[in-house]
Chain A
Amino acid sequence: MTGKDNVKVHVKSLKKSFGQNHVLKDISIDIHEGEVVCVIGPSGSGKSTFLRCLNRLEQASSGEIVVDGYHIDDKKIDINKVRENIGMVFQHFNLFANMNVLDNLMLAPVDLKKATKEEARNKAMELLKTVGLADKADSFPSQLSGGQKQRVAIARALAMSPDIMLFDEPTSALDPEMVGEVLSVMKQLAKDGMTMVVVTHEMGFAREVAHRVVFMDDGVILEEGTPDEIFSNPKNPRTIDFLNKVL
Chain B
Amino acid sequence: MIQIIQSYGALLSIAMGQTLLLALCGLFFGCILGVIFGLSSVVDHKVSRAIAKVYVNLIRGVPMIVLAFFVFYGIPYGIKTILGIKFTFTALQAGTLCLALNCGAYMSEIIRAGIQSIDPGQMEAARSLGLSYWRSMFKVVLPQAIKNMIPSIVNQFIITLKDTSILSVIGFPELVNKAQNVIAITFKSFQTWAIVAVMYLVVILALQQVANSLERRLSRDRER
Contact = CB atoms under 8 A, between A and B. Distances in A.
Interface in B119-160: 119, 121-122, 124-132, 135, 139-140, 143-144, 147
Contacts of B139: 107, 111
A26 to B, nearest CB: 25
B121 A92 contact: yes
19 contacts: A57-B124, A80-B127, A83-B130, A87-B128, A87-B129, A90-B124, A94-B119, A94-B122, A96-B125, A96-B140, A98-B144, A98-B147, A98-B222, A107-B126, A112-B129, A156-B129, A157-B128, A157-B129, A160-B129
Interface residues of B, number: 21
A57 B128 contact: yes
A142 B224 contact: yes
A111 B135 contact: yes
A57 B127 contact: yes
A112 B130 contact: yes
Interface of B: 119, 121-122, 124-132, 135, 139-140, 143-144, 147, 222-224
Interface in A150-202: 153, 156-157, 160
Given A98-B140, A140-B224, A142-B224, A160 B124 contact: no
Contacts of B126: 96, 107-108
- Smallest CB-CB A-B distances: 7 pairs: A84-B130, A94-B125, A108-B129, A94-B121, A88-B128, A83-B130, A98-B143
B224 A94 contact: no
Interface residues of A, number: 27
A76 interface: no
Given A94-B119, A111-B139, A80 B125 contact: no
Contacts of A157: 128-129
Contacts of A95: 125
A120 to B, nearest CB: 12
A81 interface: yes
